[in-house]
Amino acid sequence: MDYAELKILIETETAEIGAFLVDFELNMENQIKLHADLLEGHISVDQLKYLSRSIENALGDESEDYSIEVSSPGMFTPFKVPEQYKKSIGRLVKVNILESGDSLKGTLKSYDGKEIELHWTERVPKPKGKGKMDVDLKKTIPLKDVSKIILDFKF
């Protein structure tokens, strides 16, 4: 089975459990590595196990030629597919900007396939008098300007 056929098979089996394919790799040793996730909630170990077995069953006799590794993308894996952006709307993210090298942290408010909107609060000096005040900021960032976006966790 070639890469394209295998990818279609994996996407079909992933969709069967209501998940989406984040990443797929087939190396020279016939190791299949894939990351899958759900649009809502987190993919469970049982769902990953089921996905692995369903891929193995779909391969039939060819399954003996492959090793299959199925997992979730992980907390700090950069976004790769539109579904990850959609799933993360309303969550804290860290965005690395290409040209400036700047990093922005905020709540992902929207994603339309071409750009994202980020909202955050910043402490700034008061216009009059001493002290600081909170200011709500937002920025629309074209995806072509983003080098990496990941979830931002506070521990």
- pLDDT tens, residue by residue, 55-70: 999 888 988 999 999 9
**Residues 144, 116: Cα–Cα separation, whole Å:** 10
**Residues 92, 118: Cα–Cα separation, whole Å:** 9
**Residues 78, 76: Cα–Cα separation, whole Å:** 6
Dihedral (CA of 62, 67, 71, 73) sign:
negative
Question: What is the residue whose two structure tokens read 């909202």?
Answer: 119
pTM: 0.87
Residue ranges of the chain with pLDDT lower than 70?
Answer: none
Q: Which residue segments constitute the domains of the chain, with CATH numbers given?
A: 3-71 (3.30.70), 82-151 (2.30.30.100)
